[in-house]
Amino acid sequence: MPDAKTASGAGAALSDADWAAAIVAMDPAVVGGVVIRARHGEDADSWLRLLRGLLSPGTPVRRVPGHITDDRLLGGLDLAATLAAGRPMVASGLLAEADGGLLVLPLAERVAAATAAHLAAARDLGEVLIERDGFTCRARARFGVIALNEGRDDEQPPANLTDRLAIHIDLAASPPTADAGALSTLVDRARSTGADVTISTEITEAICGAAVSLGIGSLTASVFAVRVARIAAALAGRTAVAEDDVILAARLVLGPRATTIPASPEQPEEQSAPDASDGQSADDETTGELKDVAVEAARASLPPGLLAQLTACANRSNATGAGRSKQPHTASRRGRSVGVKRGPPSGGARLNLIETLRAAAPWQRMRRQNDRPGRVEVRADDFRVRRLKQQVAATTIFLVDASGSSALHRLGEAKGAVELLLADCYVRRDQVAMIAFSGRGAEVLLPPTRSLARARRSLADLPGGGGTPLAAGIDATALMVEAVKRKGQAPGVVILTDGKANLTRAGTGGRSVAEEEALTAARAMRLLNAKAIVIDTSPQPQPQAARVADALGARYLPLPRADAETLCLAVKAQQDRRGA
């Protein structure tokens, strides 16, 4: 365990998890919070217990359940109080209640996009701003967020939230070790002295330089690293940030955000020091060294899986995670509120209280005549329920044949067709995903996303050449279709190929075996019941692609006869049929 020996000043061996708890406990709001990767709920619970023990007495800690509604989170109309008082009464929400303390977000990888966005907005402003249900409200809400990420590797909490939480730790790699008593002494001492910790320009430069070397674009990470280093110094009883604090900050803040593997320190240092232009040669050296120390520390905190992943596809992982994909999931299950209609709240319909009260309001004087004042008289006539639009989010998966034979003939045209379809998906706010297969096998170029920018990039980078492992491509698509379905979305598949499979799943040649495998894969995928289109990209329509389409139960469309416009219409028609 590399982190045990860096515990400084205090004399105790502290793990990253211990440090994280102590740093957050010092000031929950200032570092934004912690993202905790925990395979088991118990690990997270014991860390939370440790943290709670360190907080100043009376610090609020609130749990945010995944199904929380906006009115509980932000504050909203208090039904009982409103009816009793006869005028709208507002109840404060969790965000305001957590002011000065912590919000704990279990299952953060599944949090609704709206909830994450509200947390992010309140974190930015330090207050919660409400404009809903007929009232305006502003309440102080400075809090830290503890996001528990208990998901599998492919599930990530929304990036717009994790970006705003300074510390990212993995409890499996670094479980809490210190006894709570020692840690609490440390925190109490730092709290009582309350000394201001200074940070030198060289150290700030080292942190910024390390962030750049690690491929961290956002400056928020550097700002957080500075804050964490400062608090760490205070905890260690120092009045100025020292190297140990930078190392710790690099491990807690920068390492987990790294998107590139930094050049290893054996290489000449000049290469990785682009700040030589400032003409401060003497300082440069120390800054450069410290930066390398920070980078090295950050490297150490990279989990081994991440390293492998980064090495395999460095160009892909600088994207911001897949958190956003959860939004349509929720939307499809509950539907989006698109207005109200008159009617009783039965059959699962949810009462829209504010509109009901508005409907009842004009009649109050008349209805109240024989009753005591102060009570709102609501009749069945007044009931208004939410009208929900059941919009099933669609994800269109493109499977693009980038093999040599395709590349020769029609890859350019296929790309053009995909682009037109992309533009269309973009207007419809569908998600798109892209898988390509070529001599190197099948590769997911783009997991489902709504960002045209990313889709465009991945298309431009589309590798080409080699054999045609069609079966592998179809298998990869089928996997993604299943994943999309699990999220409650409707998958659609567009396959662009000439159907001339010549690479088997095992990676060996052999046209007939490969084609047979492709057909088997297609038949298997047909069972998933996803709408599909096969676009034949060969110069003349060939029976192979048609056979694949047939096995898939897909529509067959030869590209030679279909100009881009026709293609687009065909795909649209398919999507509309699915929607019906």
Partner 1 sequence: MRALYPFTAIIGQDEMRLALLIAAVDPTIGGVLVFGDRGTGKSTAVRGLASLLPPMRAVCGCKYHCDPGANGSGCDDCQERGREGPLPSELVAVPVVDLPLGATEDRIVGALDLERALTRGEKAFQTGLLARAHRGFLYIDEVNLLEDHLVDLLLDVAASGENVVEREGLSVRHPARFVLVGSGNPEEGELRPQLLDRFGLSVEVRTPQDIATRVEIVQRRDAFERAPAAFAAAWQGEDEAVRAQIEAARRLLRSVDVPTSIMEQMARLCSGLGTDGLRGELTLMRAARATAALDGATTVTAEHVRGVTPLALRHRLRRNPLEEAGSTARIDRAVVEAFGA
Closest CB to partner 1 among 149 and 320? 320
Closest CB to partner 1 among 384 and 500? 384
Q: How far is the CB of 124 from partner 1 (least distance, A)?
A: 7
Q: What gap in Å lies between CA 399 and CA 418, rounded to an integer?
A: 10
Closest CB to partner 1 among 224 and 437? 224
Q: Is 33 helix (H, G, I), strand (E, B) or coil?
A: strand
Structure tokens at 88: 């709208």
Q: How far is the CB of 420 from partner 1 (least distance, A)?
A: 9
- Decide if 135 contacts 74 (C-beta within 8 A): no
* Nearest CA among 65, 44, 149, 138 for reference residue 99: 138
Closest CB to partner 1 among 2 and 374? 374
- Decide if 462 contacts 415 (C-beta within 8 A): yes
Q: How far is the CB of 40 from partner 1 (least distance, A)?
A: 31
CB atoms within 10 A of CB 57: 4
Q: Is 544 helix (H, G, I), strand (E, B) or coil?
A: helix
Q: Is 188 helix (H, G, I), strand (E, B) or coil?
A: helix
Q: How far is the CB of 351 from partner 1 (least distance, A)?
A: 15
Q: How far is the CB of 156 from partner 1 (least distance, A)?
A: 13
* Nearest CA among 513, 488, 504, 97 for reference residue 331: 488
Closest CB to partner 1 among 418 and 519? 418
- Decide if 250 contacts 295 (C-beta within 8 A): yes
Count how many Cα atoms sit within 13 Å of the Cα of residue 550 in the half-sphere of its side chain.
Answer: 6
Q: How far is the CB of 229 from partner 1 (least distance, A)?
A: 10
Closest CB to partner 1 among 14 and 354? 354
From first CA to last CA, the distance across the chain in angstroms is 57
Q: How far is the CB of 50 from partner 1 (least distance, A)?
A: 26
- Decide if 86 contacts 367 (C-beta within 8 A): no
Burial 213-229 (b: 16+ CB within 10 A, else e): bbbbeeebbbbbbbbbb
Structure tokens at 175: 């479980």
Q: How far is the CB of 506 from partner 1 (least distance, A)?
A: 35
Q: How far is the CB of 466 from partner 1 (least distance, A)?
A: 23
Residue 556: alpha-carbon gap to chain centroid: 36
Closest CB to partner 1 among 291 and 505? 291
Closest CB to partner 1 among 7 and 241? 241
- Decide if 277 contacts 205 (C-beta within 8 A): no
Closest CB to partner 1 among 74 and 186? 74
